[in-house]
Amino acid sequence: MSKDTQADAQDGAKVHAELRTSFGKGFARRLRAAGKIPAVIYGHGEEPVHVALPGHQVALLLRRANAVLELDVEGTNQLTLVKDVQKDPVHQIIEHIDLLVVKKGEKIQVDVPISVIGESAPGTIAAQDANTVLLEVEATHIPQRVEVDVEGLEDGTHITAADLKLPRGASLIVDPETLIVAISVPSSTLAAEDEIAELDAAVSAAQAIEAEEAKDESAE
């Protein structure tokens, strides 16, 4: 697997998180105006910890699916998985982040994006039925995506979850029979082919009638 398909928290810069004791919409707005993002850390039976994160740095890290952030919470190191990102529906500004505490070597379940590559057989299309697949993986080794190669696949081919080539150490959680990609001929193409077949049949019938009439005329 290529390096860019797997996330490793140790490869990224440490994120400095500030503890916060003030809450409410007004305080959150002031934080965002100062270029920071309010967040909460929870999990492993620990009390939730409310922090403020550097907005620009975290926004860049969140471009990666299932981002794992190595936090420095005022001198204490904390490994966390981004579980939820709340954004303003209009401006898409990050308003709040939920972070789940994880441990190195711990197995977690995450939805990993599916990427379709290649071109199916000429005249066919590859319809992607599932955009993600639920896997169990190590918290610090989360694949960025699972690739599905459809190069040259013919009409009628179905790729299920069981057919996926999973990264090393990853286990499938969803039903193995879950449909991922189906190869088919577009309905518009089939309709055009049916229309051509009908026209050919009509032409053949007309030619047969003409031939029969010509035969009768010659017999007279």
* Domains of the chain by residue range: 3-102, 108-184, 186-220
CATH number among 2.170.120.20, 3.40.50.1390, 3.40.630.30, 3.20.20.150, domain 108-184: 2.170.120.20
Give which of 131, 127, 135, 186 is closest to 157, Cα–Cα: 127
pLDDT, one tens digit per residue, over 158-207 is: 999 999 999 989 999 999 999 999 999 887 654 555 567 666 666 666 66
126: part of which helix (H) or strand (E)?
Answer: strand 125-128
Considering only the top CATH level, what class is 3-102? mainly beta
Q: Cα(170)–Cα(143) distance, rounded to whole angstroms?
A: 9
pLDDT, one tens digit per residue, over 76-128 is: 999 999 999 999 888 888 999 999 999 988 999 999 999 999 999 999 999 99
Kindly state the tokens that stand for 39.
């967040």
DSSP 174: S
Checking DSSP bridges between strand 36-43 and strand 94-101, what pairing results, if any? Answer: parallel
- What pLDDT does 2 receive? 42
3-state SS string over 72-86? EECCEEEEEEEEEEE
Residue 216: burial class (beta carbons within 10 Å; 0-12, 13-18, 19+): exposed
